[in-house]
């Protein structure tokens, strides 16, 4: 049973990069593309070019939010909206944990021994 034909086209690669530049999360990208989140993840598995575009889009999203956090920290807000740096930091820790979490993990492997994992922080 083949199932329904896919909506996927190469155009989605450019779209996710563009959406990343707007700071959107992966789930928001799927919403904007009008596809199920499950399909968004399936497409990454089936289409290496889409997976690479999603990685780029996610990196752009992180850069977008880091810029916004910097602007908020410096009190720069041309829109006149009072920024909430605490909320922004919370978002960064949750959306980009590899770079922003306070908890650090170190793994060590010694020949002939079991793997040791050390965690510290929150």
Domains recognised in the chain with CATH numbers: 11-120 (1.10.10)
pLDDT in tens, the chain (122 residues): 466 778 899 999 999 999 999 999 999 999 999 999 999 999 999 999 999 999 999 999 999 988 888 877 777 666 777 777 788 788 888 888 888 877 666 666 667 766 666 666 65
Rounded to an integer, what distance in angstroms lies between the CA atom of residue 58 and that of residue 99? 13
Question: Model pTM?
Answer: 0.71
Rounded to an integer, what distance in angstroms lies between the CA atom of residue 60 and that of residue 91? 15
């Amino acid at each position: 049973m083949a199932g329904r034909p896919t909506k996927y086209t190469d155009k989605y690669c450019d779209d996710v990069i563009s959406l990343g530049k707007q700071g959107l999360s992966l789930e928001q990208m799927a919403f904007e593309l009008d596809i199920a989140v499950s399909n968004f993840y399936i497409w990454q598995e089936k289409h290496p070019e889409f997976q690479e575009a999603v990685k780029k889009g996610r990196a752009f999203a992180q850069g977008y939010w880091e810029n916004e956090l910097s602007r908020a920290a410096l009190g720069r807000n041309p829109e006149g909206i009072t920024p909430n740096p605490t909320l922004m930091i919370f978002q960064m820790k949750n959306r980009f944990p590899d770079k922003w979490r306070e908890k650090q993990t170190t793994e060590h492997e010694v020949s002939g021994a079991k793997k040791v994992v050390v965690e510290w922080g929150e």
